[in-house]
Protein backbone atom coordinates (compact mmCIF):
# COMPACT_ATOMS: atom_id res chain seq x y z
CA UNK A 1 0.00 0.00 0.00
CA UNK A 2 2.64 2.51 1.06
CA UNK A 3 4.86 1.63 -1.87
CA UNK A 4 1.97 2.17 -4.32
CA UNK A 5 0.95 5.54 -2.98
CA UNK A 6 4.53 6.72 -3.38
CA UNK A 7 4.34 6.35 -7.20
CA UNK A 8 2.85 9.28 -9.13
CA UNK A 9 -0.85 9.03 -9.95
CA UNK A 10 -1.38 6.42 -7.29
CA UNK A 11 -3.43 8.77 -5.15
CA UNK A 12 -6.00 9.25 -7.89
CA UNK A 13 -6.10 5.50 -8.49
CA UNK A 14 -6.70 4.90 -4.83
CA UNK A 15 -9.51 7.43 -4.85
CA UNK A 16 -11.07 5.94 -7.96
CA UNK A 17 -10.99 2.51 -6.40
CA UNK A 18 -12.58 3.54 -3.12
CA UNK A 19 -15.85 1.90 -2.13
CA UNK A 20 -19.17 3.30 -3.29
CA UNK A 21 -20.93 5.39 -0.67
CA UNK A 22 -24.14 4.01 0.80
CA UNK A 23 -26.23 6.45 -1.21
CA UNK A 24 -24.49 5.41 -4.43
CA UNK A 25 -25.15 1.76 -3.61
CA UNK A 26 -28.84 2.47 -3.03
CA UNK A 27 -28.97 4.44 -6.28
CA UNK A 28 -27.44 1.50 -8.15
CA UNK A 29 -29.76 -1.03 -6.58
CA UNK A 30 -32.85 1.03 -7.42
CA UNK A 31 -31.52 1.58 -10.93
CA UNK A 32 -31.20 -2.15 -11.52
CA UNK A 33 -34.49 -3.07 -9.85
CA UNK A 34 -37.09 -0.37 -10.57
CA UNK A 35 -39.80 -2.30 -8.67
CA UNK A 36 -37.80 -2.20 -5.46
CA UNK A 37 -38.83 1.26 -4.26
CA UNK A 38 -42.61 0.65 -4.63
CA UNK A 39 -42.15 -2.74 -2.93
CA UNK A 40 -40.49 -1.07 0.05
CA UNK A 41 -43.17 1.64 0.18
CA UNK A 42 -45.96 -0.96 0.07
CA UNK A 43 -44.33 -2.96 2.84
CA UNK A 44 -43.93 0.16 5.00
CA UNK A 45 -47.54 1.18 4.28
CA UNK A 46 -48.89 -2.22 5.33
CA UNK A 47 -46.72 -2.33 8.48
CA UNK A 48 -47.62 1.24 9.53
CA UNK A 49 -51.37 0.83 9.00
CA UNK A 50 -51.30 -2.51 10.82
CA UNK A 51 -49.66 -0.84 13.82
CA UNK A 52 -52.36 1.87 13.77
CA UNK A 53 -55.21 -0.61 13.37
CA UNK A 54 -54.56 -4.36 13.49
CA UNK A 55 -57.67 -5.01 11.40
CA UNK A 56 -55.78 -3.66 8.36
CA UNK A 57 -53.86 -6.86 7.73
CA UNK A 58 -56.62 -9.36 8.46
CA UNK A 59 -57.69 -11.48 5.45
CA UNK A 60 -61.01 -9.68 4.94
CA UNK A 61 -59.37 -6.25 4.67
CA UNK A 62 -56.57 -7.55 2.43
CA UNK A 63 -59.13 -9.28 0.18
CA UNK A 64 -61.01 -6.00 -0.11
CA UNK A 65 -57.74 -4.22 -0.89
CA UNK A 66 -57.03 -6.58 -3.78
CA UNK A 67 -60.60 -6.45 -5.14
CA UNK A 68 -60.70 -2.67 -5.01
CA UNK A 69 -57.34 -2.44 -6.76
CA UNK A 70 -58.27 -4.77 -9.62
CA UNK A 71 -59.96 -2.35 -12.05
CA UNK A 72 -57.38 0.44 -11.75
CA UNK A 73 -54.62 -2.19 -11.87
CA UNK A 74 -56.05 -3.51 -15.16
CA UNK A 75 -56.24 -0.02 -16.67
CA UNK A 76 -52.70 0.63 -15.45
CA UNK A 77 -51.39 -2.28 -17.57
CA UNK A 78 -52.30 -0.38 -20.74
CA UNK A 79 -51.15 2.88 -19.21
CA UNK A 80 -47.75 1.32 -18.38
CA UNK A 81 -47.25 0.21 -22.00
CA UNK A 82 -48.01 3.71 -23.25
CA UNK A 83 -45.88 5.50 -20.63
CA UNK A 84 -42.99 3.13 -21.44
CA UNK A 85 -43.06 4.61 -24.96
CA UNK A 86 -42.83 8.10 -23.39
CA UNK A 87 -46.53 8.73 -24.10
CA UNK A 88 -49.50 9.25 -21.82
CA UNK A 89 -53.09 8.07 -22.11
CA UNK A 90 -55.88 10.25 -20.74
CA UNK A 91 -58.60 8.20 -22.45
CA UNK A 92 -58.13 5.00 -20.37
CA UNK A 93 -61.32 5.36 -18.35
CA UNK A 94 -63.36 6.64 -21.28
CA UNK A 95 -62.44 3.64 -23.46
CA UNK A 96 -63.22 1.19 -20.62
CA UNK A 97 -66.63 2.82 -20.01
CA UNK A 98 -67.54 3.01 -23.71
CA UNK A 99 -66.62 -0.63 -24.20
CA UNK A 100 -68.53 -1.65 -21.06
CA UNK A 101 -71.68 0.36 -21.93
CA UNK A 102 -71.82 -1.05 -25.46
CA UNK A 103 -71.44 -4.62 -24.14
CA UNK A 104 -74.08 -4.10 -21.44
CA UNK A 105 -76.57 -2.32 -23.71
CA UNK A 106 -76.25 -4.89 -26.50
CA UNK A 107 -76.87 -7.69 -24.00
CA UNK A 108 -79.62 -6.05 -21.89
CA UNK A 109 -81.51 -3.94 -24.45
CA UNK A 110 -80.84 -5.49 -27.83
CA UNK A 111 -80.91 -9.12 -26.73
CA UNK A 112 -77.48 -10.05 -28.09
CA UNK A 113 -75.99 -13.28 -26.71
CA UNK A 114 -73.63 -12.47 -23.82
CA UNK A 115 -70.50 -13.77 -25.59
CA UNK A 116 -71.19 -11.79 -28.73
CA UNK A 117 -71.94 -8.59 -26.79
CA UNK A 118 -68.71 -9.01 -24.81
CA UNK A 119 -66.71 -9.63 -27.99
CA UNK A 120 -68.24 -6.50 -29.56
CA UNK A 121 -67.22 -4.45 -26.51
CA UNK A 122 -63.66 -5.78 -26.60
CA UNK A 123 -63.36 -5.12 -30.35
CA UNK A 124 -64.63 -1.60 -29.72
CA UNK A 125 -61.93 -1.11 -27.06
CA UNK A 126 -59.34 -2.33 -29.56
CA UNK A 127 -60.75 0.02 -32.23
CA UNK A 128 -60.58 2.96 -29.82
CA UNK A 129 -56.92 2.12 -29.14
CA UNK A 130 -56.32 1.83 -32.88
CA UNK A 131 -57.78 5.32 -33.35
CA UNK A 132 -55.44 6.74 -30.70
CA UNK A 133 -52.53 4.88 -32.29
CA UNK A 134 -53.31 6.15 -35.80
CA UNK A 135 -53.54 9.74 -34.61
CA UNK A 136 -50.23 9.43 -32.75
CA UNK A 137 -48.22 7.55 -35.38
CA UNK A 138 -49.76 8.63 -38.71
CA UNK A 139 -50.67 12.26 -38.07
CA UNK A 140 -47.89 12.67 -35.54
CA UNK A 141 -49.91 14.41 -32.83
CA UNK A 142 -48.59 14.36 -29.25
CA UNK A 143 -50.21 11.54 -27.21
CA UNK A 144 -51.35 14.02 -24.55
CA UNK A 145 -53.42 16.00 -27.08
CA UNK A 146 -54.74 12.93 -28.90
CA UNK A 147 -55.99 11.25 -25.75
CA UNK A 148 -57.30 14.51 -24.29
CA UNK A 149 -59.48 14.74 -27.39
CA UNK A 150 -60.53 11.10 -27.44
CA UNK A 151 -61.25 11.27 -23.69
CA UNK A 152 -64.06 13.72 -24.44
CA UNK A 153 -65.16 11.91 -27.60
CA UNK A 154 -65.41 8.45 -26.00
CA UNK A 155 -67.04 9.82 -22.83
CA UNK A 156 -69.64 11.62 -24.94
CA UNK A 157 -70.26 8.51 -27.07
CA UNK A 158 -70.73 6.37 -23.96
CA UNK A 159 -73.25 8.85 -22.49
CA UNK A 160 -75.12 9.28 -25.79
CA UNK A 161 -75.26 5.55 -26.50
CA UNK A 162 -76.48 4.62 -23.02
CA UNK A 163 -78.73 7.66 -22.65
CA UNK A 164 -76.87 8.36 -19.41
CA UNK A 165 -78.62 5.39 -17.78
CA UNK A 166 -76.95 2.71 -15.67
CA UNK A 167 -77.80 -0.95 -16.27
CA UNK A 168 -78.08 -2.95 -13.05
CA UNK A 169 -76.54 -6.40 -12.86
CA UNK A 170 -79.90 -8.16 -12.50
CA UNK A 171 -80.60 -7.21 -16.13
CA UNK A 172 -77.22 -8.51 -17.32
CA UNK A 173 -76.39 -12.08 -18.39
CA UNK A 174 -74.23 -14.27 -16.15
CA UNK A 175 -71.11 -13.99 -18.34
CA UNK A 176 -70.94 -10.23 -17.81
CA UNK A 177 -71.46 -10.52 -14.04
CA UNK A 178 -69.01 -13.42 -13.87
CA UNK A 179 -66.10 -11.07 -13.09
CA UNK A 180 -67.76 -10.17 -9.78
CA UNK A 181 -68.21 -13.75 -8.66
CA UNK A 182 -66.20 -14.47 -5.55
CA UNK A 183 -64.71 -17.61 -4.06
CA UNK A 184 -62.50 -18.36 -1.11
CA UNK A 185 -58.81 -19.25 -1.16
CA UNK A 186 -58.11 -20.15 2.46
CA UNK A 187 -59.34 -17.17 4.45
CA UNK A 188 -59.00 -14.79 1.51
CA UNK A 189 -61.82 -13.94 -0.89
CA UNK A 190 -60.99 -13.55 -4.54
CA UNK A 191 -63.18 -12.70 -7.52
CA UNK A 192 -62.80 -13.96 -11.08
CA UNK A 193 -62.19 -10.34 -12.01
CA UNK A 194 -59.08 -10.36 -9.83
CA UNK A 195 -57.87 -13.55 -11.52
CA UNK A 196 -58.44 -12.03 -14.97
CA UNK A 197 -56.37 -8.99 -13.97
CA UNK A 198 -53.58 -11.21 -12.61
CA UNK A 199 -53.71 -13.08 -15.93
CA UNK A 200 -53.31 -9.75 -17.77
CA UNK A 201 -50.22 -8.95 -15.73
CA UNK A 202 -48.70 -12.38 -16.44
CA UNK A 203 -49.36 -12.29 -20.19
CA UNK A 204 -48.33 -8.66 -20.81
CA UNK A 205 -45.41 -9.00 -18.37
CA UNK A 206 -44.17 -12.01 -20.32
CA UNK A 207 -44.48 -10.15 -23.62
CA UNK A 208 -42.59 -7.15 -22.22
CA UNK A 209 -39.68 -9.04 -20.72
CA UNK A 210 -39.34 -12.12 -22.92
CA UNK A 211 -40.17 -11.14 -26.52
CA UNK A 212 -38.59 -8.88 -29.12
CA UNK A 213 -41.78 -6.82 -29.11
CA UNK A 214 -41.12 -6.02 -25.45
CA UNK A 215 -37.49 -5.06 -26.14
CA UNK A 216 -38.72 -2.82 -28.95
CA UNK A 217 -41.30 -1.11 -26.71
CA UNK A 218 -38.51 -0.16 -24.32
CA UNK A 219 -36.18 0.89 -27.15
CA UNK A 220 -38.83 3.07 -28.81
CA UNK A 221 -39.57 4.78 -25.49
CA UNK A 222 -35.89 5.24 -24.80
CA UNK A 223 -34.90 6.82 -28.11
CA UNK A 224 -37.26 6.38 -31.08
CA UNK A 225 -34.72 7.56 -33.67
CA UNK A 226 -32.01 5.23 -32.36
CA UNK A 227 -34.51 2.37 -32.40
CA UNK A 228 -35.47 3.17 -36.00
CA UNK A 229 -31.85 3.31 -37.13
CA UNK A 230 -31.26 -0.02 -35.38
CA UNK A 231 -33.90 -1.60 -37.58
CA UNK A 232 -36.86 -1.43 -35.20
CA UNK A 233 -40.05 -0.36 -36.93
CA UNK A 234 -40.70 2.36 -34.37
CA UNK A 235 -44.03 3.57 -35.72
CA UNK A 236 -45.43 0.07 -35.98
CA UNK A 237 -44.36 -0.76 -32.41
CA UNK A 238 -45.89 2.49 -31.14
CA UNK A 239 -49.13 1.78 -32.99
CA UNK A 240 -49.31 -1.77 -31.60
CA UNK A 241 -48.89 -0.41 -28.06
CA UNK A 242 -51.97 1.83 -28.40
CA UNK A 243 -54.02 -0.96 -29.98
CA UNK A 244 -53.09 -3.48 -27.26
CA UNK A 245 -53.80 -0.87 -24.58
CA UNK A 246 -57.29 -0.32 -26.04
CA UNK A 247 -58.05 -4.05 -25.83
CA UNK A 248 -56.81 -4.11 -22.23
CA UNK A 249 -59.12 -1.21 -21.33
CA UNK A 250 -61.99 -3.23 -22.81
CA UNK A 251 -61.12 -6.16 -20.52
CA UNK A 252 -60.88 -3.71 -17.59
CA UNK A 253 -64.42 -2.55 -18.45
CA UNK A 254 -65.64 -6.13 -18.16
CA UNK A 255 -64.06 -6.50 -14.70
CA UNK A 256 -65.66 -3.17 -13.73
CA UNK A 257 -69.17 -4.60 -14.31
CA UNK A 258 -68.43 -7.33 -11.77
CA UNK A 259 -66.83 -4.94 -9.30
CA UNK A 260 -69.53 -2.25 -9.43
CA UNK A 261 -72.49 -4.63 -9.81
CA UNK A 262 -73.74 -2.50 -12.68
CA UNK A 263 -72.70 -0.89 -15.93
CA UNK A 264 -72.76 2.83 -15.28
CA UNK A 265 -71.55 5.51 -17.71
CA UNK A 266 -70.55 7.64 -14.71
CA UNK A 267 -68.29 5.04 -13.06
CA UNK A 268 -64.55 5.43 -12.42
CA UNK A 269 -64.30 9.16 -13.11
CA UNK A 270 -60.85 9.25 -11.48
CA UNK A 271 -59.54 6.30 -13.50
CA UNK A 272 -57.28 8.37 -15.76
CA UNK A 273 -55.34 10.00 -12.99
CA UNK A 274 -55.40 6.90 -10.77
CA UNK A 275 -53.87 4.74 -13.50
CA UNK A 276 -51.14 7.30 -14.16
CA UNK A 277 -50.53 7.59 -10.40
CA UNK A 278 -50.14 3.80 -10.10
CA UNK A 279 -47.66 3.71 -12.99
CA UNK A 280 -45.60 6.62 -11.66
CA UNK A 281 -45.51 5.41 -8.05
CA UNK A 282 -44.57 2.02 -9.51
CA UNK A 283 -41.30 3.47 -10.73
CA UNK A 284 -41.99 3.67 -14.48
CA UNK A 285 -40.41 6.80 -15.91
CA UNK A 286 -42.64 9.35 -17.63
CA UNK A 287 -39.72 9.92 -20.01
CA UNK A 288 -40.11 6.38 -21.34
CA UNK A 289 -37.93 3.31 -21.67
CA UNK A 290 -37.67 2.51 -17.99
CA UNK A 291 -39.89 0.64 -15.55
CA UNK A 292 -42.19 -2.33 -15.67
CA UNK A 293 -45.47 -3.98 -14.80
CA UNK A 294 -44.50 -5.35 -11.39
CA UNK A 295 -43.92 -1.79 -10.17
CA UNK A 296 -47.29 -0.71 -11.58
CA UNK A 297 -49.11 -3.50 -9.71
CA UNK A 298 -47.38 -2.47 -6.48
CA UNK A 299 -48.16 1.20 -7.20
CA UNK A 300 -51.86 0.45 -7.67
CA UNK A 301 -51.89 -1.53 -4.40
CA UNK A 302 -50.17 1.33 -2.54
CA UNK A 303 -52.86 3.84 -3.56
CA UNK A 304 -55.65 1.49 -2.41
CA UNK A 305 -53.77 0.63 0.80
CA UNK A 306 -53.79 4.34 1.67
CA UNK A 307 -57.53 4.55 1.03
CA UNK A 308 -58.39 1.57 3.22
CA UNK A 309 -55.73 2.22 5.84
CA UNK A 310 -56.70 5.84 6.44
CA UNK A 311 -60.39 5.00 6.70
CA UNK A 312 -59.62 2.18 9.19
CA UNK A 313 -57.48 4.64 11.15
CA UNK A 314 -60.50 6.92 11.33
CA UNK A 315 -58.75 9.73 9.46
CA UNK A 316 -60.56 12.12 7.14
CA UNK A 317 -60.62 10.58 3.64
CA UNK A 318 -59.20 13.79 2.16
CA UNK A 319 -55.84 12.94 3.73
CA UNK A 320 -55.58 10.02 1.33
CA UNK A 321 -55.53 12.43 -1.59
CA UNK A 322 -52.84 14.44 0.17
CA UNK A 323 -50.72 11.36 0.84
CA UNK A 324 -51.02 10.10 -2.75
CA UNK A 325 -50.01 13.53 -4.04
CA UNK A 326 -46.88 13.51 -1.87
CA UNK A 327 -46.07 9.97 -3.04
CA UNK A 328 -46.28 10.96 -6.71
CA UNK A 329 -43.87 13.85 -6.19
CA UNK A 330 -41.48 11.62 -4.23
CA UNK A 331 -41.66 8.85 -6.85
CA UNK A 332 -40.83 11.19 -9.74
CA UNK A 333 -37.99 12.79 -7.73
CA UNK A 334 -36.54 9.35 -7.02
CA UNK A 335 -36.80 8.52 -10.73
CA UNK A 336 -34.86 11.68 -11.63
CA UNK A 337 -32.19 10.80 -9.08
CA UNK A 338 -31.89 7.22 -10.32
CA UNK A 339 -31.47 8.37 -13.92
CA UNK A 340 -28.26 10.15 -12.94
CA UNK A 341 -26.58 6.83 -12.09
CA UNK A 342 -22.99 6.29 -13.24
CA UNK A 343 -20.96 3.15 -13.19
Partner 1 sequence: MTATINQPGDTALQVPILSARGLVKTFGRVIGLDGVDLDLFPGEVLAVIGDNGAGKSTLIKCLTGALIPDAGQLTLEQAPITFRGPQDARAAGIETVYQTLAVAPALDIASNLYLGREERRPGLLGNVFRMLDHRGMRDRAAAAVRELGIQTIQNIQQTVETLSGGQRQAVAVARAAAFGSKVVVLDEPTAALGVKESNQVLDMIKGLRERGLPVILISHNMPHVWEVADRIHIQRLGRCAGVITPDSHTMTEGVAIMTGAANLEDNTST
Binding site for partner 1 (CB under 8 A): 31, 206, 210-213, 215-216, 218-219, 222-223, 225-232, 289-290, 339, 341-343
Residue 338 beta carbon to partner 1: minimum distance, rounded to whole angstroms:
11
Instruction: Identify which of 148, 108, 103 has the alpha carbon closest to the alpha carbon of residue 121.
Output: 103
Residue 237 beta carbon to partner 1: minimum distance, rounded to whole angstroms:
11
Residue 343 beta carbon to partner 1: minimum distance, rounded to whole angstroms:
4
- Pick the closer one to partner 1 by CB: 20 or 55: 20
Strand partners, 262: 168
Distance CA 338, CA 340 (A): 5
- Pick the closer one to partner 1 by CB: 218 or 249: 218
Longest dimension (CA), the chain: 90
- Pick the closer one to partner 1 by CB: 216 or 320: 216
- Pick the closer one to partner 1 by CB: 18 or 342: 342
- Pick the closer one to partner 1 by CB: 171 or 235: 235
- Pick the closer one to partner 1 by CB: 171 or 215: 215
Distance CA 335, CA 325 (A): 16
Distance CA 190, CA 258 (A): 12
Distance CA 66, CA 49 (A): 16
**What length is written for the chain?**
343
Residue 136 beta carbon to partner 1: minimum distance, rounded to whole angstroms:
20
Task: Give the H/E segment covering residue 188.
Answer: strand 188-191
- Pick the closer one to partner 1 by CB: 86 or 172: 86
Instruction: Identify which of 105, 102, 108 has the alpha carbon closest to the alpha carbon of residue 128.
Output: 102
Residue 212 beta carbon to partner 1: minimum distance, rounded to whole angstroms:
4
Q: What are φ and ψ of residue 235, in 5° steps?
A: -65, -40
Residue 216 beta carbon to partner 1: minimum distance, rounded to whole angstroms:
8
Residue 19: CB atoms within 10 A of its CB come to 7
Residue 323 beta carbon to partner 1: minimum distance, rounded to whole angstroms:
30
Strand positions, DSSP E, 264-303: none
Are 314 and 302 spatial neighbours (Cβ–Cβ below 8 Å)?
no
Number of H helices, E strands in the chain: 16, 4
Exposure of 131 in the CB half-sphere (CA atoms within 13 A): 17
Amino acid sequence: MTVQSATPGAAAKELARREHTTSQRIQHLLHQHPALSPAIILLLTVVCFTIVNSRFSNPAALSLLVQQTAVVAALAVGQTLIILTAGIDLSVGAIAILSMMVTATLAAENGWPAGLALAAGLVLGLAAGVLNGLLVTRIGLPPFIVTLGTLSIFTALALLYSGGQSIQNNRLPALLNWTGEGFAIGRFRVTTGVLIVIGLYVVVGFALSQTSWGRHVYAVGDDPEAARLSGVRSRRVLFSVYAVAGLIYGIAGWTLIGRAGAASPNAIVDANLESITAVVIGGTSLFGGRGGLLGTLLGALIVQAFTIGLSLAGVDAQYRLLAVGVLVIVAVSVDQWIRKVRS
